[in-house]
Structure 1
């Protein structure tokens, strides 16, 4: 049975994964999408591995019930803690998110890269495994972005509180000579302009959104899941908390529909 017309499923601990959705929508505009924002349980990064796994299973089963042909785990913490289990237990492809420390390590001139991520990502076995493959001369300065996801979820991206936290987290990386800062949470690209202002023009800030979209397209092509028709795509965003912040982020996308989910 050809299921190429079915939607791409995407889930995150909140609205941050919309940064990934935007890259996907730009690359694959004909594809319909279903996005699940589990904002009620954000951030995942402060939860235990078993809690993260159970929430990821719940999100996955909801998206499969909605007809998802492939699922993007648009959350670094959920990827690092749950994606292997999901791949082992569900009969559809999964695309995960990893912090872009590999490209940063290949391009750094100072051999020092900073990573801003959640506690759940930095403490995970997958992140440790990825880090261990880097050149031994590379120094990684890790920083837990405590409080950042909560402020983004509350729509306080440009608040004084956000500015103070970012300066607190970014300054030590700069003092230690980092010339790359990796954003290890899908919420954080919404903070990139502020981080760039603090870091200065000589520091490169990277995330994995574009690479994830390309990987998604490649995997869909391998599994004959690409929708080649020219029919109008639908993009539905489910959220289990107040919709206004999500709607503001999506205000430029006329074919994006938000719905409250009692989930």
Structure 2
């Protein structure tokens, strides 16, 4: 039994979509979540900047005794996780767009990917796409402007609707049957996405897969907390606490949600 917390960080509040999946699967595990909203979005920063921010977040989580760290950010994973794994002793769980299941199951042979510039420009994304999508058409679309709107609590705004129409309409015309969400903020847009996309399009995000991988790595390293005690859940943001609480919904009631300068 290991009661130390799972550490999770993202460029902002979006990674809470990953946290929810981890909590559903591992409700006994204590968690500490860092929303680095002050520096969001990571997707518009240089690789050096992304690495520096990822190191900063990792150092804080390790100072709190975290036994494993989930990099709940596609951009941070693709740009920094190799360095983190080489320079720290704890296990790291990364996240990347779920290209593989989309291209393997596509019937039309056309798959859309909505992600940040930092993710789509990364070598890891390029390698994954080349490996699994050799005989498929993958339409890549930068989600410019979406993360700042989500971070500002404007998920249901007209601005979001206009951007999604702009980004998705060309994909629909190309007859995609899968849309891969390549940013952990984007699952919060699924209700709006469904209004625009035909019901023949399946939306894929990586939350469930990341949770299962986290469980697997904890088991392999004998780090699972098998107690029945109520887990201590902590969320920290260096920007708007109310935005974080709004996305957490009922989970905010049973958790500690605080501002932290980091």
1:258 matched to 2:257? The reply is: yes
Q: Which runs of 5+ in 2 are unaligned?
A: none
Report the CA distance between 1:197 and its aligned residue. 1.3
Q: 2:229 aligns with which of 206, 213, 231?
A: 231
Judge which range, 135-144 or 88-97, deviates more.
Answer: 135-144
Give the aligned partner of residue 34 of structure 2: 36
Report the CA distance between 1:67 and its aligned residue. 0.7
1:93-126 C-alpha deviation (Å, 9 max, x unpaired): 0000010010000110011100000000000011
- 8 Å CA contact 1:11–1:75 kept in 2: the answer is yes
Report the CA distance between 1:135 and its aligned residue. 3.9
Q: 1:143 aligns with which of 141, 144, 152?
A: 141
Residues matched between the structures, number: 261
Judge which range, 132-141 or 112-121, deviates more.
Answer: 132-141
1:9-20 counterparts in 2 under 5 A?
9-20=7-18
**In structure 1, how many angstroms separate the alpha carbons of the residues matched to 2:134 and 2:222?**
40
- 8 Å CA contact 1:234–1:255 kept in 2: the answer is no
Give the aligned partner of residue 110 of structure 2: 112
**In structure 2, how many angstroms separate the alpha carbons of the residues matched to 1:85 and 1:233?**
30
Q: Please list every run of at least 4 consecutive aligned residues from structure 1 whose deviation after the TM superposition is greater than 6 angstroms.
A: none
1:62-100 C-alpha deviation (Å, 9 max, x unpaired): 000011000000000000000000000000000000100
**In structure 2, how many angstroms separate the alpha carbons of the residues matched to 1:138 and 1:8?**
37
Give the aligned partner of residue 193 of structure 1: 191
Give the aligned partner of residue 133 of structure 1: 131
Q: 1:87 aligns with which of 70, 85, 88?
A: 85
Q: 1:64 aligns with which of 58, 62, 65?
A: 62
What secondary structure, in the 3-state scheme, does the structure 2 residue paired with 1:133 have?
A: helix
**In structure 2, how many angstroms separate the alpha carbons of the residues matched to 1:114 and 1:199?**
11
**In structure 2, how many angstroms separate the alpha carbons of the residues matched to 1:90 and 1:255?**
31
TM (norm. structure 1) is 0.98
Give the aligned partner of residue 71 of structure 2: 73
**In structure 1, how many angstroms separate the alpha carbons of the residues matched to 2:244 and 2:198?**
29
**In structure 2, how many angstroms separate the alpha carbons of the residues matched to 1:10 and 1:162?**
26
Q: Which runs of 5+ in 1 are unaligned?
A: none
